[in-house]
Amino acid sequence: MCAAREGRWGRRQRALLCCVLVAALEAAWGQLRYSVPEELPKGSFVGDVAKDLALQLAALRDRGARILDRGRTRYFTLHANSGHLVTAERLDREQLCRLMERCVLRCEVIVEGEMKVYEIEVEITDINDNAPSFGEAENELRMSETTAPGSRFSLSKARDPDMGMNSLQSYELSGDEHFSLSVQAGADGEKRPELVLAKALDREEAAFHELVLRASDGGEPSRTGTARIRVSVLDANDNAPVFSQAVYAVRVPEDVPVGSTLLALTATDADEGLNGEVKYSMTKLTAVQTDKFYVAPETGSIRLVRSLDFEEDDSYELEVQARDGGGLSDTATVSISVTDVNDNAPELTVSSALSEISEDAPSGTVVALLHVQDRDSGANGEVRCSLVGDVPFRLRSSVGSYYSVATARELDREEVSEYNVTVRAADGGSPSLRSSAVLALRVLDVNDNAPVFAEARYSARLAENNAEGALVLTVRAWDADWGQNARVRYRLAEGRVRGAPLSSYVSVQAETGALYALRSFDYEEVREVGLWVRAEDGGAPALSSNVSVRLLIVDENDNAPQVLYPPAAAAGAVWTGVELAPRSAEPGALVAKVVAVDADAGQNAWLSYELAKATEPGLFRVGLHSGEVRTARSPLARDAPRHSLVVVVKDQGRPALSATATLTVVLAESVAELLSELGSAAAPAEPAGSLTRWLVLAVAAVSCLFLAFLLLLLALRLRRWRRSQLLPPASGALRGVPASHFVGIDGVRAFLHSYSHEVSLTADSRKSQRRWAADSCCNTLPARPPPDKAAPLLGEDAAGARGAQPDALPGLKIFFAYAYKPIPLDVQTCFMNIQL
């Protein structure tokens, strides 16, 4: 017993060694083959898959590897930690591969990270674990006592599910000298036992004979099975039933309905009466035969009891016995071939698939691995796979019955964010059967789109004097990406306005793109602001785009007109804006021109002139748009010599703003007459003595001021001389020209050219004198009188005049200054400055 067990384990070790050698040779071809004996306990070692496939255990654990399960019984398990393939349950070769000489189980191992499938074949070798067995433990034969010696009778065969030497090898008969055993080999090599009558029977001597039929296999140790045979000796029956054919063959499709008659057998018996009655039965009984077929005892017809399946078994062999009433019998073999029908649709299984893929994945990236099979055979089992619809994927045939689905081009999530890829499998049957599998694939976003503004450029109008924080406009940008990559934030580009940072004027809300004014704008200072707004997404790296924004400041009527001429009256001035108009002037003659400007723009700066008040309403008129004061008619003798005109200057804003200018027009033919009129108006009722007293006080005050001026001038000269010793002289563009000779109009300086006349007056106009200044241009300082010349108003002539004319006006000097300056309408006018 111990020797037998050691021999059994030695064969197993040799089988495992062969398994390892075969696996090493075929690992290079992506296919592994192992061989293990049957009846191994659960968890038994089959092969080292990780070693044979040259896979690292760490990578195997990280990427994941598993046995594919397509709805079939799983016989093996892969240990991820060790990479070993082990049995998942006890394997019984006779149960797994019935009637198959070579028992091979196949499985597939998929490595998830690599999207690769490896086929594994495991051959289950037979061990002698089954003893031969007979279908019936006890059989009864009936023989006539007249049966001739040498007659043969078929016996039931023993069955041994093992293969090779472990299967049935021999029969032995024991128990009686009247019988012997003959073993015949059939066409298929199967051994068929026959009982041979060796000696004539005598019923009167022995009515029954007990025999034992023993079947033995070739295993070590050998296993046996027995059947008891009881032979009943009958009276004479001369003829045995005879079948019309020794072998019956029939082909039926697998979809033949249950209950159909497949074949009718016929056996005849020449005897009469009970010896001629034939009954049919199956002698070669198996569980499959009894479940699927039925032989009618009376008619010999074979009916289908259970549906056929070509994929389960494509052929069956039955032995039918015809026995008469006298105990004689005959046997016939029935061969039933099952033809395939296209009754199985292709089975499409998703072995491995990705649920999401990045849109920047390269073309050819494998997203799924599918397995297809059809249980039918021939053309019915030929499967063609295809993709349904226009999708950016392609189907490629992989190892064996595997197909891979890969990208045909780069994906764009902004075009399609999700795909439902339908893989369809169709067989070659008629009609064709189909099946399909749907792959749901979500495309992950990549930051490949910069924000896009709704408009190519933006512009807005903002009224000046706006409130701080006022909303100017809102810029909008959209990003075609998704999630954080589509989150847009706004900010201002760097810039400056009038030397100040742009951020001190406007700001943009980062989330909404709203542009706000941070200060109140003044159209007269800033009329337009140009800036750039940047939209930046939240990707890594971030993408951005810029848009130009033009902010136009709209003018409001917030500046009243400003009168440049006539100038406003200074404190203490007697006259201002005095104009001379000859009494002989024609209607329409130019008397003066009111010059005004408005700092606003557009309609708010359009000025109109209107004569609001006049001493003689009908004598003068004012140009509506020019501001020119002209005579409306010729002056008359009854018209007063001096007229006061009030001119209103209005702009066109809403509401309109205005300013007034006052002009004094004197009607006179000469300067002397003009001065006489002005002199009479200066002090009409003051006596000469009082006037002389005031003149003396004025001369004293002027002398004191002059001495103070000389001292100040001397101090300045000394200071300048000291500074010139310390610092180099500075150059000036207009040295020596007083700043008072420049007048500013809206930021523009105009240079005044003045011409002066000096006139000496007394109460008697005959003694009055006039002389031109030595230097008549005011771009130099007025020349001081020569020391050898006495002032005519303070010398002897003046004294004589005082003695001759008690009402004389001593020391009265009148300067006439004519100024030419540029004005908007290129009109030249003159004005007078009168000094006491």
Instruction: Please write the tens of the pLDDT for every residue from 310-363.
Output: 888 888 888 999 998 878 889 999 999 999 999 889 999 898 899 999 999 999
pLDDT at 20 over 80: no
pLDDT in the model for residue 737: 40
What is the greatest pairwise CA distance in the chain? 215
Tokens for 5?
């067990």
Nearest to 91 by CA among 133, 122, 47, 120: 122
Name the amino acid, one letter, at 834: I
Three-class DSSP category at 272:
coil
pTM for this structure? 0.53
In contact, 826 and 832? CB cutoff 8 Å: no
CA distance 629 to 388: 94
The residue among 239 and 77 whose pLDDT is bigger is: 77
pLDDT in the model for residue 803: 35
In contact, 754 and 777? CB cutoff 8 Å: yes
HSE of 91 in the Cβ direction (CA atoms, 13 Å)?
27
Mean pLDDT (the chain, rounded):
79
DSSP-derived pairing of the beta strands 247-253 and 329-339: parallel
pLDDT at 22 over 70: no
pLDDT at 540 over 50: yes
pLDDT in the model for residue 461: 93
pLDDT in the model for residue 697: 86
Of the pLDDT bands very low, low, confident and very high (cuts 50, 70, 90), residue 67 is: confident
pLDDT at 798 over 80: no
CA distance 796 to 782: 25
pLDDT in the model for residue 576: 58
Nearest to 659 by CA among 788, 563, 792: 563
pLDDT in tens, 712-769: 989 998 988 888 777 554 444 444 444 344 333 333 333 333 333 344 343 443 344 4
In contact, 318 and 336? CB cutoff 8 Å: yes
pLDDT in the model for residue 3: 38
pLDDT in the model for residue 409: 92
- The label of the residue with tokens 């890829």 reads 421
CA distance 815 to 782: 12
Q: Dihedrals φ, ψ of 802, to 5°?
A: -65, -35
pLDDT in tens, 129-167: 888 988 888 888 888 888 889 988 888 888 888 888 888
How many residues would you count in the chain? Answer: 836
Of the pLDDT bands very low, low, confident and very high (cuts 50, 70, 90), residue 778 is: very low
H helices present in 413-471, as ranges = none
pLDDT at 111 over 70: yes
In contact, 46 and 85? CB cutoff 8 Å: yes
The residue among 369 and 803 whose pLDDT is bigger is: 369
pLDDT in the model for residue 30: 53
CA distance 377 to 341: 9
Tokens for 223?
């296993």
pLDDT in the model for residue 69: 67
DSSP-derived pairing of the beta strands 31-37 and 116-125: parallel
Three-state SS across 553-599?
EECCCCCCCEEEECCCCCCCCCCCCEEEECCCCCCCCEEEECEEECC
Query: Exposed, middle or buried: residue 215 (CB in 10 Å: 0-12, 13-18, 19+)?
Result: buried
